[in-house]
Amino acid sequence: MAFNLQTFKTRALTAAIFVVVMLSGLLVNHWTFLILFSIIHFGCWFEYQKLVALIDEGYKTITPFHKYGVMMLGWGFMLWMTNNAFNIGEVSLTEIGWWIILILIIALPIVEIITSKDFKFKNIAHSVFGLLYISLSWGLMINLRATGILSVGDLISIDLGWIVPLVLIASIWINDTMAYVVGSFIGKTPFSKISPKKTWEGTIGGAVLAIATVTIAGFYAFGLNDYISLIIISSIAAIAGTAGDLFESKLKRMAGVKDSGQIMPGHGGFLDRFDSLLFATPFVWLFMKLFL
């Protein structure tokens, strides 16, 4: 894959803007984090439904209640995965999320069967897969953010919930960028037919540089002493992230499109930008819950 300076400049400029927006949402507080990933959640869903409709034309016939209801069901799961640090006075987002889930998980299939002129079970299956692919990951991401918040009553005493999400996202960014750079300069061996531009040299180089950079920077620059966890999280990001990128590339190939959307010149849409994170987040969440 030859290095294209103009493409790199376009990607670098939009990436810089993207980083500013993302860091603002990630680091200001837990509310900006929730708002940021709520926007990402709905953006991913709109693009996913567009891709599925191109792959299976029958999905175009779903009712508006189905289309938006499944998105709200996923968002309800995100709210359910918060904790009392996200309460608004006496109002618990966790409880609101629970009620959204309960109501929609009952109402969606019933309304779909009653109102759909041509009911197709596979349309339900497509949406259930979307919940697993998109909403599950972002719900677990919210839970990672909430887990590190210690609160007394309505007051937050310690907020370290941003650390794991930031390490994970930084690992994804570095892996993607370094894989592109290394692959552009020395990449010769194709990695997968699904994504012809990917090379083994770029994939391995990106993973090694991501793991090394995140671990060294985290340990020496930011004082994160648990270097084993840094290595594991960045390794998960590199491996699962690459799988996520290939999966989304397969979806786009099946749909016959180059990008899932056009929100970022040189980077495509929400799914294009967050495909790696969608796959990596559940594995990092599992690691955190099982071993830390």
Residue 75: pLDDT above 90? yes
Predicted confidence band at 266 (pLDDT cuts at 50, 70, 90)? Answer: low
Residue in this structure with the two tokens 């060294």, named with its chain if needed: 216
Domain boundary, last residue among 100, 127, 159: 159
Strand partners, 152: 155
Domain boundary, last residue among 159, 192, 227: 159
pLDDT, tens digit (0-9, with 9 covering 90-100), for 21-72: 999 999 999 999 999 999 999 999 999 999 999 999 999 989 999 999 999 9
Length of the chain measured in residues:
292
Query: How many domains does the chain divide into?
Result: 2
Stated as kind and residue range, the H or E segment containing 226 is none
List the end-to-end C-alpha distance of the chain, in Å, as a whole number.
Answer: 40
pLDDT confidence of residue 6: 65
pLDDT confidence of residue 10: 67
The span from the CA of 93 to the CA of 80, in Å, is 7
Residue 260: pLDDT above 60? yes
Burial call 3-32: b when 16+ CB within 10 Å, e when fewer: eeeeebeebeebbeebeeebeebbeeebee
Verify that 183 and 203 share a domain, yes or no. Answer: yes
As to burial, measured by CB atoms within 10 angstroms (0-12 exposed, 13-18 middle, 19+ buried), residue 203 is buried
**Which of 204, 225, 205 lies closest to 215, judged by CA?**
225
**Which of 230, 225, 176, 232 lies closest to 205, judged by CA?**
176
Answer yes or no: is 26 within a domain: no
Domain boundary, last residue among 125, 159, 193: 159
Answer yes or no: is 247 within a domain: yes
pLDDT confidence of residue 149: 87
pLDDT, tens digit (0-9, with 9 covering 90-100), for 273-291: 999 999 999 999 999 999 9
pTM: 0.93
- The dihedral over CA atoms of 59, 35, 139, 159, expressed in degrees to the nearest 10, equals 170
Answer yes or no: is 227 within a domain: yes
Verify that 155 and 165 share a domain, yes or no. Answer: no
Question: What tokens does 277 get?
Answer: 């994170």
* Rama region for 268: left / alpha / beta (φ>0; ψ in -120 to 50; rest): left
Verify that 145 and 226 share a domain, yes or no. Answer: no
Domain that holds residue 207: 5-21+161-291
Answer yes or no: is 49 within a domain: yes
The span from the CA of 47 to the CA of 175, in Å, is 24
Verify that 180 and 253 share a domain, yes or no. Answer: yes
Verify that 165 and 285 share a domain, yes or no. Answer: yes
